Amino acid sequence: MNIIVTGGAGFIGSNFIFHMLNKYPDYRIICLDCLTYAGNLSTLAPVMDNPNFRFVKESITDREAVYRLFEEEHPDIVVNFAAESHVDRSIENPQVFLETNIIGTSVLMDACRKYGIQRYHQVSTDEVYGDLPLDRPDLFFTEETPIHTSSPYSSSKAAADLLVLAYYRTYGLPVTISRCSNNYGPYHFPEKLIPLMIINALHDKPLPVYGEGINVRDWLYVEDHCKAIDLIIHKGRVGEVYNVGGHNEMKNIDIVKIICKALGKPESLITHVTDRKGHDMRYAIDPTKIHEELGWLPETKFEDGIQKTIQWYLDNQDWWETIVSGEYQNYYEEMYGNR
């Protein structure tokens, strides 16, 4: 099996590559990633010498490069993780989100149509459903929940999902889509809530909580997400959407307090800053379909996953120190410098 994994130098894509190479020693994995600020080749160092792995530095928006790769590799499956993924950046500058997340997806699927494919899998997000009210804990996102996006990021992901379903209906492209809740774990880029709070706390820097910190996210350990995608590409029904989430809803402020406690840092580091524009209140996935159809269940409890994650950031300072000392620092100062 030849699998092109786009965005494999990022957080979830790299974890997926490790999972697949480890589980399927006879599969060939080709990582297509243009290494934006969020892509890090050092993340893939452990597999660079694996004869079943190839890294290709190109953009999914570059039609010529994508077609060339398909001609060289004849992939059986494409799993598309490549995206601009950070909501705050999409609020500052939506354009690149439209280019990568929408146009890039269409280029990949055009290549799949042209050269033939067993499966195109789109890695999507629960954010396409918008948000749920805090006072209705009985409500969850199902695959039938209408698309109702809030940010330029989620709108671009929703547009891509609609294109994927259109390519299925119009051209019969064998597609699947997964819509997952918030992931956490190793190699999570330091701009996102959990790694940002761990790294700031380690430096005794303020922990910038948006608004009151009562927004709820549904956290899933990244390896569980990778296992879900593995199941969907092998056993999922073509043309279907699968929600992925582990019923682990937490308020942002509670996560930050857990991190403070685990690192022995005072909660006085917590600083309430200006809220995110259009900030979604609550995400909560109903994963019944993937559980009943494919037997997927999350394996990592949050209490264990968060400790493993904190330990990973303690053990891998080289990885994140390189990131936080470069271009990211300018971004961080722009975001929080004036708050």
What does the binding site for ligand DAU look like in residue numbers (CB under 6 A)?
Answer: 85-87, 125-127, 181-182, 192-193, 196, 208-210, 215, 217, 252, 276, 283
104 binding partner (options ligand NAD, ligand DAU, none; Cβ < 5 to 8 Å by kind): ligand NAD
- CA R_g for the chain: 19
Selected range binding ligand NAD among 10-18, 259-267, 280-288, 321-329, rule: CB under 6 A: 10-18
Site for ligand NAD (CB under 6 A): which residue of 53, 77, 97, 104?
104
Smallest distance, Å, CB 40 to ligand DAU?
A: 16
Residue 199, classed as helix, strand or coil, is helix
Strand intervals (E) in the chain: 2-6, 28-32, 53-56, 77-80, 119-125, 175-180, 183-184, 207-210, 216-218, 220-221, 240-244, 249-251, 270-273
Q: Which is nearer to ligand NAD, 15 or 265 (CB)?
A: 15
DSSP string, 281-313: -B--B--HHHHHHH-----S-HHHHHHHHHHHH
Q: Which does 63 bind (CB under 5 to 8 A by kind): ligand NAD, ligand DAU, none?
A: none
Query: Is 153 considered catalytic here?
Result: yes
List Cβ neighbours of 12 (8 Å cut-off, separation of 6 or more): 81, 123, 183, 222, 225, 226
What secondary structure letter does DSSP report for 270? E
Q: Which is nearer to ligand DAU, 155 or 215 (CB)?
A: 215
Segment interacting with ligand NAD (CB under 6 A) among 7-15, 112-120, 195-203, 325-333 = 7-15
Copy the structure tokens of residue 35: 């290494």
Evaluate the CA torsion angle 308, 321, 213, 135 in order and state its sign: negative
| Residue number with the smallest Cβ distance to ligand NAD | 10
Instruction: Name the residue nearer to ligand DAU (CB basis): 130 or 236.
Output: 130
**Nearer to ligand DAU among residue 61 and residue 151 (C-beta):** 151
- Residue 130, sorted as left (phi over 0), alpha (psi -120 to 50) or beta, turns out to be left
Find which of ligand DAU, ligand NAD, none residue 236 binds, CB within 5 to 8 Å per kind: none
* Active site (annotated) includes residue 336: no
Nearest distance from C-beta of residue 25 to ligand NAD, angstroms: 24
Q: Which of 33, 84, 120, 126 is catalytic?
A: 126
Q: For residue 220, which of 211, 212, 229 has the smallest C-alpha distance?
A: 229
Residue 34 within binding range of ligand NAD, rule CB under 6 A: yes
Angstrom distance (rounded) from CA 102 to CA 317: 34
Using the minimum distance from each CB to ligand DAU, give the nearer residue, 208 or 298.
208
Compose the 283-312 pattern: x for residues touching ligand NAD by CB under 6 A, - for all others. ------------------------------
Instruction: For residues 157 and 150, give the distance between their C-alpha atoms in angstroms, rounded to a whole number.
Output: 11
DSSP 48-95: TT-TTEEEE---TT-HHHHHHHHHHH--SEEEE--S---HHHHHH--H
Calpha distance 25→27 (Å, rounded) = 6
With binding defined as CB under 6 A, does residue 12 bind ligand NAD?
A: yes
Question: Is residue 161 within the footprint of ligand NAD (CB under 6 A)?
Answer: no
Q: 283 φ, ψ to 5°?
A: -115, 140
- Please identify which of the residues 120, 129, 153, 313 carries the catalytic annotation: 153
For residue 207, the SS3 value is: strand
Catalytic residue among 33, 84, 120, 127: 127
Known active-site residue 249: no
To ligand DAU, the closest distance from the beta carbon of 157 in angstroms equals 7
Whichever of 53 and 265 has its CB closer to ligand NAD, that residue is 53
Instruction: Indicate which residues carry an active-site annotation.
Output: 126-127, 153
- Residues found near ligand NAD in the complex (CB under 6 A): 6-7, 9-13, 33-36, 38-39, 59-61, 81-85, 100, 104, 123, 125, 157, 180, 182-183, 189
